[in-house]
Amino acid sequence: MSWGLKVKDRDLISFLSAVLYYAEKGHPLPVAFKRAKCEHKIKNVNYNEVFSLAYKLTFSYNSLTGRGRKDKVRNFLSYGGTPILPNWITEELKRVNIDVDKVVHGGAQWIRVNTLKGDIDKVRKELEKAIDVFDSPLPYVFRVKERVPSEFTRSYKVLYQDLASAYVVESLKPQQGEVLLDFASSPGIKVSQYMALTENRGRVIATDVDHNRLRKELLLLRKMGVDLNRVEVINQDSSRSAIMRGDKALIDAPCSSTGIITKEPTLMIRLNQRHLISRLSKLQKSIINKAVKATEKIVYSTCSILPEEGEEVISEYEKRLETLNIDGNTGYEIYPFHDKVRRFFPGINHTDGFFIARLRIS
Ligand SMILES: C[S@@+](CC[C@H](N)C(=O)[O-])C[C@H]1O[C@@H](n2cnc3c(N)ncnc32)[C@H](O)[C@@H]1O
């Protein structure tokens, strides 16, 4: 085995096992890779090629046999280093008739201009002095192929936000003066977009089960220029309590994140059992059941490619679905209401994988 990398198998296996060790500890791939590099120097190697191999390896983690990390690496290399999804995911995608390639390749990098901190045209012009900037259907979202110079992100004039994620907030049709209930709001990316679109004249009750994430959200919102007098923060389990009323609700639900595996393949390590998905699906349904008691208009979204976290969660409210007039694709066609909801895929829309639905309860 040479892998075209001119590395001894033994060195490569040790290196990739170290990457897996750090990925298993919860580090994102670039961090896991950097740590492995500190420990295992490999001579005369193109680290970009090794990174690409590490990407496919973490992606395939749950499909590999072998008890230890080294065994898993050997098993992966014996397949010729091709990324493999776990069988249960492949079967699920086959059931809804979507090509695996549409899911595992083709994402892109998107940025949002934070209009609370800068004018869209001015920021774009400034950016274009340093990097190429490409249009998107939304006037304040752009596609980039390089990293944005740090002065733009440090001043919070620009943040990385996927186009599909921006469409979630667009689906709410934000209006000044209304009260938005956000049932899972941290780290606050969508709250800040909502406040930007209402020019700081909306009101938000932002809730999350994770106290620490809520604290960070408040810091982020302040830095993004959000008027905190118009944001109330509540630490709650939204599947249990929702003693509040509002004009609209956003449920950007906790999910498997299978829609972002192209960006962060280490997510596959934690996605080791099918029953995790049923648990998430139940949690998502419980949050919707609370939200319908608190408001009449609800946008539900997940960054998941799995129907169990999309169509199957909202099917109980099928008659309450409002057709979404946004870009993207319809839902999976085996569901009768597929044309009312939206799905985004890395391999079609160059976005993260997302599911979006809007309900009108009364
Ligand atoms: C997908 S993230 C939300 C991202 C956020 N909307 C944004 O745009 O920045 C899901 C959030 O749900 C929260 N969460 C998980 N279980 C929850 C529950 N039972 N009640 C409320 N929030 C929950 C997580 O802590 C996480 O912050």
Task: Give which of 335, 259, 263 is closest to 301, Cα–Cα.
Answer: 259
Q: Determine the pLDDT at residue 82.
A: 77
342/354 Cα distance (integer angstroms): 8
Kindly state whether residues 185 and 274 are assigned to the same domain: yes
Residue 269's pLDDT is 87
Compute CA distances 355 → 161, 186, 246, 278, 359, whole Å: 16, 18, 23, 17, 13
- Asked whether residue 344 falls in the same domain as residue 220, the answer is yes
Choosing from 24, 53, 83, the residue where a domain stops is 83
Q: Which helix (H) or strand (E) holds 182?
A: strand 179-182
41 and 189: one domain? no
Closest among 192, 143, 78, 73 to 350, alpha carbons compared = 143
Average pLDDT, stretch 323-340?
Answer: 96
Q: Is residue 181 very low, low, confident or very high in pLDDT (cuts 50, 70, 90)?
A: very high
In 3D space, the residue among 217, 214, 213, 229 whose CA is nearest the CA of residue 188 turns out to be 217
Cβ of 254 less than 6 Å from ligand 1: yes
The ligand 1 atom at the shortest distance from the C-alpha of residue 255 is: 1
Lookup: tokens for 155:
């001043």
The verdict on residue 334 lying in a domain is yes
Total domain count for the chain?
A: 2
172 with 318, same domain? yes
Instruction: Give the domain range for residue 39.
Output: 9-83
Q: Is 30 helix (H, G, I), strand (E, B) or coil?
A: helix
User: Does residue 333 share a domain with residue 231?
Assistant: yes
253 CA distance to ligand 1 middle (Å): 6
Here the CATH number for the domain that contains residue 267 is 3.40.50.150
Q: Whose CA is nearest to atom 2 of ligand 1?
A: 254
Q: Assess whether 74 and 188 both reside in one domain.
A: no
Note the pLDDT of residue 7.
Answer: 60
Give 112-168 as a DSSP string. Answer: EE-TTTS-HHHHHHHHHTTS-EEE-SSTTEEEESSPPPHHHHHTTSEEE--HHHHHH
Structure tokens at 326: 């946004």
**Whether the CB of 239 sits within 6 Å of ligand 1:** yes
Say how many Å lie between the CA of residue 238 and the centre of ligand 1: 9
For residue 302, give the ligand 1 atom closest to its CA. 1
- How does pLDDT run across 253-300, given as a tens digit for each residue? 999 999 998 889 998 888 877 778 999 999 999 999 999 999 999 999
Q: Is 209 in the pocket of ligand 1 (CB under 6 A)?
A: yes
What is the model's pLDDT at position 6?
A: 55
235 lines ligand 1 (CB under 6 A): no
> Taking all residues of the chain, what is their mean pLDDT, rounded to a whole number?
93
Pick from 276, 322, 316, 277: nearest CA to 296 = 322
pLDDT in tens, 213-250: 999 999 999 999 999 999 999 999 999 976 789 999 99
204 by DSSP, 3-state: which?
strand
Residues 6+ apart with CB under 8 A from 1: 9, 77
In a domain? residue 316: yes
Answer yes or no: do 212 and 65 share one domain: no
pLDDT at 42: 84
Specify the pTM: 0.93
Share of the chain above pLDDT 70, in %: 97
- Is 76 within a domain? yes
| CB distance 143 to ligand 1 below 6 Å | no
Residue 78 and residue 169 share a domain: no
Instruction: Report the pLDDT value the prediction gives residue 1, as an integer from 0 to 100.
Output: 47
Say what the pLDDT of residue 176 is.
Answer: 98
184 lines ligand 1 (CB under 6 A): yes
For ligand 1, the distance from its centroid to the CA atom of residue 280, given in whole angstroms, is: 12
187 lines ligand 1 (CB under 6 A): yes
Nearest-atom number in ligand 1 for the CA of 303 is 1
Give the residue ranges of DSSP H helices in 171-257.
Answer: 189-197, 211-223
Within a domain: 92: no
Q: Are residues 200 and 294 in the same domain?
A: yes
Q: What is the pLDDT of residues 23-70, one digit of tens each?
A: 999 999 999 999 999 988 888 888 999 999 999 999 899 888 888 999
Residues pairing with 144 in the sheet: 109, 133
The answer to whether position 344 is within a domain reads yes
Report whether pLDDT(3) > 70.
Answer: no
Quickly state the pLDDT bin for 5 (edges 50, 70, 90): low
109 lies in a domain? no
Is residue 74 a part of any domain in this protein? yes
pLDDT at 45: 86
* 76 and 205 fall within a common domain: no
Q: How far is CA 233 from CA 188, 213, 219, in A?
A: 11, 11, 12
Q: Work out the burial of residue 150: count CB atoms within 10 Å of its CB; fewer than 13 is exposed, 13-18 middle, 19 or more buried.
A: exposed
Same domain, 325 and 194: yes
Nearest to 343 by CA among 351, 354, 334: 354
Would strands 141-144 and 109-113 be described as parallel, antiparallel, or unpaired? antiparallel
Measured from the Cα of 188, ligand 1's closest atom is 9
pLDDT reading at 12 higher than 70: yes
With respect to residue 4, please indicate whether it lies within any of the assigned structural domains: no
Q: What is the pLDDT of residues 66-124, one digit of tens each?
A: 889 999 999 998 887 777 888 888 889 999 999 888 887 888 999 999 999 999 999 99
For the record, the structure tokens of 164 come out as 């599909």
Contact 174, 201 (CB under 8 A): no
Ligand 1 midpoint to CA 302 (Å):
10
Task: Among 83, 100, 119, give the residue marking a domain's end.
Answer: 83
256 C-alpha to ligand 1 centroid (Å)? 12
Sheet holding 133-135, edge to edge: 133-135, 141-144, 109-113, 158-160
How far apart, in whole angstroms, are the C-alpha atoms of residue 297 and residue 204?
14
**Are 62 and 204 part of one and the same domain?**
no
Which of the listed residues 83, 109, 134 is the one where a domain comes to its end? Answer: 83
Which pLDDT does position 66 carry in this prediction?
87
pLDDT 10s digits, 141-157? 999 999 999 999 999 99
